[in-house]
Amino acid sequence: MGLFDKFGKLAAERASLSDSHPFGIRIDEMYSPTEGSIQGKRVILAGTNNYLGLTFDPDGIKAAQRSLELEGTGTTGSRMANGSYAGHSALEEELVDFLGRRSVIVFSTGYVANLGVIGTLASAREVVLLDADCHASIYDACKLGGAEIIRFRHNDVADLERRMVRLGDRAREAIILVEGIYSMLGDQAPLREIVEVKRRLGGYLLVDEAHSFGVLGAKGRGLAEELGVDSEVDILLGTFSKSLGAVGGFAACHDAQMDLLRYASRPYIFTASPAPSAIASVRSALKAIKERPELRRQLWTNARRLYQGLAESGYQLGPQASPVIAVMLKSPHEGLAFWRALIEKGVYVNLVLPPATPGAVTLIRCSVSAAHTPEQIDQIIEAFASLRSPVDLVTVGA
């Protein structure tokens, strides 16, 4: 048996989608947060998670450039060795202040933040209750720690409660894992109702705010702030690769003892720390979130405009308007044809295929940005609407 023979089924599935699949798509040039070039064609970027459009923010670019000149291109070491620079500590202090929490740890990516925190806390002696639609990094973290994993139906608080009741006294020490905004359909966790269950039955609540940080809440702290339950959320997890426009991740806790994870978390101890220039741009972006609430307002104006336009065009969408807007299609082949057709019409989005999607549906997923102009939003709507015409229905199957 060859080393890669075990992936035969996967190879066959990829081959069935032809060589023109999206998984190796390359953006050849970037012109702005919302425009680029793919295969020689200028496109509107509507699949980048660049929610606040800060990847080209002049202040962030200047901060990163200064850091490159003063600190070089990378730390070449982990936080526990030689990889903690003044900027890493300053960002942690700024996040403590912004989030109103006592402890913040910065990680190299959002994925590593979940591995490092959840994988360390959810050891073999623990039980974890996680929403069925949680991100792969959360599942991987639970497996890394060896915890007993109990899935509850997506956003089904009654199902969560039933499973906690069955745990009896063990529920008091259980770890509950949900997300602020879910990355597939853009829907939000029912945090108020989950907090009520936690108050009655116990447990520790961890919320991954990757797609909701900078997006929700009066100050941009996320869904927990938006719903007024921040004090009931034990640990917030997040990433710098969405609203903050760079790369990295963080965990934030009301309990200062979370700092002990710096000495217990293998992904933290043995991963090289984020490049100083990335940290510098994140600090600039965090300042923008605090000082420019108009970015959030524009993001939601754009999101509602796109959601309404796609709904009026007759598409089946996720359950609520969100910066993540998913169009549901019947099959991978239909999705691939649709995705290609959108690029031809000058719009780049994400094609997400089973088994990564809820309910094995095929998704065309849009990510809205505050940097999109109303005209660009309308162009995206027009591209989608045109693919429901009789001519395109034959090709695309929409």
Q: Which fold has domain 58-291?
A: Aspartate Aminotransferase; domain 2 (3.40.640)
Q: What are phi and psi of 372, to 5 degrees?
A: -65, 135
- Whether the Cβ atoms of residue 324 and residue 181 lie closer than 8 Å to each other: yes
Sign of CA dihedral 138, 144, 145, 150: positive
The side-by-side arrangement of strands in the sheet containing 175-179 is: 103-107, 249-253, 235-239, 204-208, 175-179, 127-131, 148-152
Helix (H) or strand (E) holding 215: none
pLDDT value for 333: 87
d(Cα 304, Cα 361) in Å, to the nearest integer? 23
- Whether the Cβ atoms of residue 76 and residue 83 lie closer than 8 Å to each other: yes
Mean pLDDT by groups of 10 residues along the chain of 398 residues: 86 71 81 96 97 98 98 96 97 98 98 97 95 96 95 98 97 98 96 98 98 98 98 98 98 97 97 98 98 98 98 94 95 90 96 84 96 98 83 35
d(Cα 104, Cα 255) in Å, to the nearest integer? 10
Q: In the structure, how many helices (H) and strands (E) does the chain have?
A: 14, 14
pLDDT value for 398: 35
Give which of 272, 266, 237 is closest to 253, Cα–Cα: 237
Report the predicted TM-score, pTM, of the whole model to 2 decimal places: 0.93
Domain with CATH 3.90.1150.10 in the chain: 15-45+293-396
Query: Residue 385, exposed/middle/buried by CB under 10 A (0-12, 13-18, 19+)?
Result: middle
Residues 6+ apart with CB under 8 A from 330: 361, 362, 397
Please state whether 28 falls in left (phi above 0), alpha (psi between -120 and 50) or beta: alpha
Residues forming the active site: 183, 211, 242
Q: Which fold has domain 15-45+293-396?
A: Aspartate Aminotransferase, domain 1 (3.90.1150)
Measuring CA to CA, how many Å separate 34 from each of 46, 81, 206, 348?
7, 38, 32, 10
CA angle 247, 249, 250 (to 5 degrees): 150
Q: Which two tokens stand for residue 367?
A: 């990510």
Helix (H) or strand (E) holding 129: strand 127-131
- Whether the Cβ atoms of residue 307 and residue 325 lie closer than 8 Å to each other: yes
Domain with CATH 3.40.640.10 in the chain: 58-291
CA angle 371, 372, 374 (to 5 degrees): 130
Q: Which two tokens stand for residue 35?
A: 């425009």
